[in-house]
Chain A
């Protein structure tokens, strides 16, 4: 995927006729798949966000609205651009209270409206305003520094009518994928998990496990139907499961996680799956005792899986993800049960 895409912006005096303008700029036509609304800070910020969104334009051709508060005392300022093939862009600088009324009539009909929410400079009033016309809110809770509890709180505020999705969850996909593949080297190994160690990629000693750890532990707990009672976690058959949350050494920084180790006992005794963040790659090692069964190396995850990559995945899926919600809920409950032991 391209790392940088330059758009050719055209200033326009009004939004009248903007759809014809887009049609002329997109000489090949092509179908649109969504409306994306993104609150940006100013023209410079809009340019950066547009260049970023343009990278996934050909894969997810969308009508994209980049809305900034506008300059003090100025009337509306607008400019348009389009990719061919790809997305249609309009950047609008205008007082926040007027913005929604301009965007609404320009939304491409019958297509989902996705609100890409970045909290910088915006207040909750604006979030409420935009989420009222959106079908989905897509945020990056990890980058926004939200804890699992804050995220749950935000979701409650937005209500049930709108699906909230989070790029933090998307970044977990490679970790979940590799864990699945590692455990599948032995039939039913997932039922024999005895120990899970999640080492954070950034959390320091004494801090609470972060959002990503909560989601990962919650996902395992939800899918494998683990039961937590106080400081103990059990499988449905009553087998005790050890959960360990490691901190990252002060001199290192790894993004979401530094390492995930899952070990089995019972008939699968000795099976261990180790996923580690190493430079630009994730590696998977599967051992049976001391015997190496296999290894895998997954490229392009970097310190943090890129926003382009994660947004691409989210837009490919569409709709809500009940597993994300369930994992968040179970993770919060699981870590609350473990209390201080989770630190």
Chain B
């Protein structure tokens, strides 16, 4: 049970325009001396503080094994905020920082030491004005999640009560396959109820993922045509123009299917294709997303012995990116010279429900592709009868609706128009809407949105256990099949190109082609 369930809402907040402010609480960060805390969490928290989105009594307690005291932690975080905040957020005055820093503490210790957690429990009791609300943030390696959860349970810090809520944020990756994801969920569920657990995937905090929901369900004109009757196919592309950079060790373990497809692309796919939730709230939205993912046909086609007709993997070799020569994946640091790890994936996904039966969803993601772009392209069917063929024999392009997620977030629609003149000539034109030029608003950083949501108990943008498991259930057989067979053609695409030839061939077999974003 959470506090908000038993305490009447503040009547003074009703009708207040800035409603999304967090209730009083303590944020306890495990892994407080790590990279994530300094690069993302503290800048986001300070930005929220600067915008008065946090309570005046909001506290931060950093917990890590580094031998720091509170003063050192505060100094390090002040420097981190200066370095990593976006300029507007870093502009807080010294007075604002001092006021904020006065409520930051640090506790040093090992996560397997019960004494650390007893000390944390007594520190939490001594923090005034936070109504007993505690948010734990586990910025720790996956292997430490179970230990921290268990230690919190042992000292009685995992229970929510009418006197205050307790929530826990867990960072991705949520396992590395179905089995490990289930084990992690079971471990967490021993000490926390599902409604207390917030699995964070920063990709879901991006504005456009939420904008897709608004675009689809706040406009009456799109839903009637958002189905198999009018849509030919959908392409979802998440392309990166950079390689793996310094993450060789991680990538050798993970690969792109785990790193991008199982989480980010599945989340985008679910938002694009789900049925209308009954309310814009965590439960109903997440129910629909899970329903959608569980309606995806298993990837291995019936009767097929391999995945070649529905999946293509690739690995980049040396090439050029933005005019610069770049090394191939196997030449990157901490990567095996004969590594079989994929840096490109193309997938064909079929959804088995009334809305989407027969409509392929093509998912594509890769490293060192020509440009950084994330988009969803909805390609509509051509008109049933082309009456212009006699006067305009050239082919007519189908309508394409593109939802750009990054960069230049926006929506465009391609349609045919008559070229002015006495002749009958048609030309495709693009109607473009860009969030940046239409609203000029600075978008919040994903962590700002997600931290505030967790404090407010809004779980909509966080992954629920069944969503995580459904996505792993879909992708694990493919992962296992790929891991069991060594790709003979790796590297099979040059850095700076749109992936392997096999990916194009895979589309050609369906009589389609990839969009060039």
Contact = CB atoms under 8 A, between A and B. Distances in A.
Given A59-B441, A299-B50, A187 B129 contact: no
A297 B99 contact: yes
Interface string B123-140: 000001111000000000
A190 interface: yes
Contacts of A173: 16-18
Contacts of A316: 17
B56 A295 contact: yes
A294 B57 contact: yes
Interface in B344-381: none
Interface stretch (A34-42, A118-126, A149-157, A176-184): A176-184
B55 A178 contact: no
Contacts of A321: 15
B11 A31 contact: no
A288 B57 CA distance: 12
A29 interface: yes
B474 to A, nearest CB: 38
B10 interface: yes
A7 interface: no
A186 interface: yes
A177 B129 contact: no
B131 A323 contact: no
A286 B52 contact: no
B437 A182 contact: no
Nearest to A293: B129
A183 B10 contact: yes
> Would you call the interface of chain B mostly helix, strand, loop, or mixed?
loop
- For B56, B103, B433, the residue with the greatest tally of chain A CB atoms inside 10 Å of its CB is B56
A299 B18 contact: no
A177 B99 contact: no
Contacts of B440: 57-59, 61, 85-86
- For A59, A61, A185, A286, the residue with the greatest tally of chain B CB atoms inside 10 Å of its CB is A185
A220 B3 CA distance: 24
A224 interface: yes
A45 interface: no
B52 A177 contact: yes
A143 interface: no
A257 to B, nearest CB: 16
A184 B10 contact: yes
Nearest to A327: B15
B304 interface: no
Contacts of A265: none
A174 B130 CA distance: 21
Interface of B: 3, 7-8, 10-18, 21, 23-24, 50, 52, 55-58, 92-93, 95-96, 99, 103, 128-131, 432-434, 436-441
Interface of A: 28-31, 33, 57-59, 61, 84-86, 173-174, 176-188, 190, 219-220, 223-224, 281, 284, 286, 288, 291, 293-299, 313, 316-317, 321-323
Given A297-B99, A323-B14, 15 more contacts: A30-B433, A58-B439, A85-B436, A85-B438, A86-B440, A176-B16, A184-B23, A187-B7, A188-B8, A293-B129, A294-B57, A295-B99, A298-B52, A299-B92, A313-B17
